[in-house]
């Protein structure tokens, strides 16, 4: 070893690796990284070597830069024992020690913690006494501890908004952020799939990142040897409990879909992933690609939980999925395949130049309340609804108001769609056209803006406050509706006990340069104009400009304003207040 003291880097062969694709090289690989970590030097692999890694649960700690070159790795999971499945292969870590914090409580949008820190830190806080994300459906559960994560500077200033009120903080830890960027690049990883039973026994066997300021660049992930059964994977690349991590220029492979019996006692398909993020702040996914994004026999590529300020660009994936909350999300220049776009969360969602395939462009996950507590902005996107769908909705979801998810649930407060091409020219017979919402009472409760004092709905689902639709085109020529055909009582004020109403301002809708469907703009409701008295400011309002085939034929109370529009028949309805600005 003395001959290596002055070397700029080490390789695996220096520590006994064969690189022949047969000999298990894991011990030599571990020894090389241990030496590199101790002497703070890089690791570079032999680009012509093939390193075999067998089933033993040995984890390699990585704390310096790594260049895997074009080296091949055969990771044989076929003989891994289920009880040893969770071990990571490579664990990218910081050598800075975490700091335990004493914080009694934290308020939503709080700007500062009463702490002094040695440097910028990633901070994670939990309240184990409060449960949230109490899952509904076939994979129902009792929820998880309230949690949040953010970056804090040395003076205690919080750089990312706190999204919850924490009446109590049972655990708070600050993880110092390394000033330098650690880069891991290259490598071709061939995973021979496990042969375990098809149960929720998630396999690790991955590259785990818990160090802030890390870049994973140019990695290739291949899956072989999948059988008609197998256990799912938690992600070949996992990013957890850290900040400022970028995964870019990687080609990843999805996993085969297997079924098991879920917690509700019924068959379910198990999620299995190549890339996951958990409680990560400022995670960037750039130029992540996969093949066959429309292959329905394989699960979606990635998933996240509790991430904040997540950025996705130039990706081609079968699915984007934010399970238990994402706070602030940007997706640009991306193609999403058969499992499309699934999310719940907070803050601002910005989606630009995205092509998506699915019955809904955005599916607000019904198992977590179909909630987005914030605003969404969609610009210049393309949507291919499923050809078999008769009435696809741009925003899909499900919330009957009878389940406690551990937090209030919202359809996004403000919705802006500016530029959308709906490629529905190949829809099947019976197709009636696409809509923004599918808000029939059995799907989205139909609760306008319910009052929490209304005990008839245990857990109200709050409707949107404002919708702006601009420059929307359909290949079918059937137009784009705000509400689906069977919508009733969706946007109007909820009916209370004893036929009393609690009046609150209803939503506002602005539509410009959009072809409308040949059905009424305003859905039916049980309310009449008389119910509102002189409170016209509480009426839902529709303001249209340069729209074609506008039809309003309803008894629902509403204010209609239109300019430079082509009408399909006359505007009729005893409860309408119509203002023509032609």
- Taking only the tens place, the pLDDT of each residue in 92-145 is 999 999 999 999 999 999 999 999 999 999 999 999 999 999 999 999 999 999
In a domain, 126, yes or no: yes
Name the β-bridge partners of 231.
Answer: none
Does the residue 130 lie in any domain?
A: yes
Bridging pattern class, strands 362-364 and 9-10 = unpaired
> What pairs with residue 421 in β-bridges?
382, 473
Q: Is 75 left (phi over 0), alpha (psi -120 to 50) or beta?
A: beta
Mean pLDDT of 392-415: 91
Residue 492 has pLDDT above 90, yes or no: no
Task: In whole angstroms, give the CA distance from residue 154 to residue 150.
Answer: 13
Q: How far apart are the first and last CA of the chain?
A: 86
pLDDT of 190: 98
382: tokens are 């393309």
Nearest to 435 by CA among 517, 502, 354, 523: 517
Tokens 């977590």 correspond to: 368
Q: What is the length of the chain?
A: 582
> Which residue from 67, 161, 156, 170 is spatially nearest to 126, judged by alpha carbons?
170
Q: Residue 499's pLDDT band (boundaries 50, 70, 90)? A: very low
Q: Which of 203-207, 219-223, 310-314, 390-394 has the lowest mean pLDDT?
A: 390-394
Residue 10 sits at φ, ψ, to 5 deg, of -125, 160
Sequence-ordered alpha helix ranges (H) in 374-440: none
- Is the pLDDT assigned to residue 21 strictly greater than 90? yes
Q: Give the separation between CA 568 and CA 496, rounded to whole angstroms.
A: 36
Structure-token pair, residue 333: 């220049």
Q: How many CA atoms lie within 13 A of 358 on its CB side?
A: 27
Tens-digit pLDDT profile for residues 318-340:
999 999 999 999 999 999 999 99
Task: Assess if residue 367 is contained within a domain.
Answer: no
Reported as a single tens digit per residue, the pLDDT across 242-294 is 999 999 999 999 999 999 999 999 999 999 999 999 999 999 999 999 999 99
Residue 298 tokens read as 């394989």
Q: Is the residue at 159 inside a domain?
A: yes
Sign, CA dihedral 187-223-207-148, equals positive
Count of structural domains within the chain: 1
Asked, for residue 484, whether it belongs to a domain, the answer is no
Residue 455 clears pLDDT 80, i.e. is over it: no
- In the three-class reduction of DSSP (H, G, I as helix; E, B as strand; rest coil), residue 145 is classed as strand
**Alpha-carbon distance 445 to 456, whole Å?**
12
Q: Which of 185-194, 290-299, 431-440 has the lowest mean pLDDT?
A: 431-440
Q: Is residue 303, in this structure, part of any structural domain at all?
A: no
Is residue 79 domain-resident?
no
* 523 HSE (CA, 13 A, CB side): 22
Q: Which domain holds residue 135?
A: 99-176
Determine the Cα–Cα distance for residues 357 and 355; give it in Å rounded to an integer: 7
CA atoms in the 13 A half-sphere facing the CB of 52: 10
108 lies in some domain: yes
């Amino acid at each position: 070893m003395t001959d290596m003291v002055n070397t700029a880097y080490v390789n695996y062969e220096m520590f006994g690796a064969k690189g022949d694709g047969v000999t298990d090289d894991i011990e030599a690989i571990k020894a090389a990284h241990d030496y590199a970590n101790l002497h703070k030097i890089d690791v570079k692999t032999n680009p012509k070597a093939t390193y075999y890694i067998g089933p033993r649960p040995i984890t390699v700690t990585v704390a310096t830069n790594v260049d895997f070159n074009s080296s091949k790795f055969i990771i044989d999971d076929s003989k891994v024992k289920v009880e040893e499945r969770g071990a990571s292969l490579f664990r990218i870590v910081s050598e800075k020690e975490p700091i335990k914090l004493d914080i009694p409580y934290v308020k939503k949008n709080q700007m500062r913690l009463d702490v002094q820190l040695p440097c910028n830190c990633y901070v994670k806080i939990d309240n184990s006494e409060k449960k949230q994300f109490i899952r509904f459906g076939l994979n129902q559960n009792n929820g998880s501890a309230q949690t949040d994560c953010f970056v804090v500077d040395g003076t205690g200033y919080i750089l990312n908004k706190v999204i919850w009120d924490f009446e109590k903080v049972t655990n708070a830890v600050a993880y110092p952020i390394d000033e330098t960027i650690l880069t891991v690049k290259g490598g071709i990883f061939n995973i021979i799939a496990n042969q375990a039973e098809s149960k929720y026994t998630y396999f690790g066997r991955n590259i785990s990142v818990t160090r802030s300021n890390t870049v994973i660049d140019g990695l290739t992930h291949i899956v072989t040897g999948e059988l008609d059964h197998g256990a799912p994977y938690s992600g070949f690349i996992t990013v957890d409990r850290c900040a400022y991590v970028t995964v870019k220029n990687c080609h990843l492979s999805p996993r085969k879909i297997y079924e098991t019996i879920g917690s509700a006692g019924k068959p379910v398909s198990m999620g299995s992933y190549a890339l996951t993020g958990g409680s990560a702040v400022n995670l960037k996914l750039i130029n992540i690609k996969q093949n066959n994004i429309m292959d329905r026999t394989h699960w979606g590529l990635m998933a996240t939980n509790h991430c904040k300020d997540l950025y996705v660009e130039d990706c081609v994936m079968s699915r984007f999925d934010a399970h238990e909350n994402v706070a602030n999300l940007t997706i640009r220049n991306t193609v999403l395949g058969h499992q499309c776009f699934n999310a719940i969360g907070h803050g601002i969602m910005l989606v630009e130049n995205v092509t998506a395939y699915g019955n809904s462009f955005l599916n607000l996950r019904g198992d977590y309340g179909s909630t987005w507590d914030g605003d969404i902005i969609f610009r210049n996107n393309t949507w291919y609804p499923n050809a078999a769908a008769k009435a696809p909705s741009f925003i899909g979801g499900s919330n009957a108001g009878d389940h406690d998810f551990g937090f209030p649930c919202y359809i996004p407060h403000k919705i802006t769609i500016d530029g959308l091409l709906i490629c529905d020219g190949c829809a099947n017979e019976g197709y009636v056209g696409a809509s923004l919402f599918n808000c029939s009472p059995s799907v989205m409760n139909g609760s306008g803006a319910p009052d929490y004092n209304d005990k008839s709905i245990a857990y109200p689902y709050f409707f949107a406050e404002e919708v702006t639709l601009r420059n929307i085109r359909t290949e079918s020529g059937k137009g784009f509706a705000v509400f689906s055909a069977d919508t009733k009582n969706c946007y109007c004020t909820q009916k209370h006990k004893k036929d009393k109403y609690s009046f609150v301002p209803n939503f506002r809708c602005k539509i410009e340069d959009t072809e409308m469907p040949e059905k009424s703009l305003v859905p039916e409701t049980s309310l009449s104009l008389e119910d509102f008295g002189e409170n016209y400011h509480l009426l839902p309002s529709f303001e249209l400009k340069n729209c074609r085939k506008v039809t309003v034929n309803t008894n629902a109370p509403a204010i209609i304003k239109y300019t430079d529009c082509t009408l399909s028949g006359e505007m009729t309805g005893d409860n309408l207040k119509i203002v023509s600005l032609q």
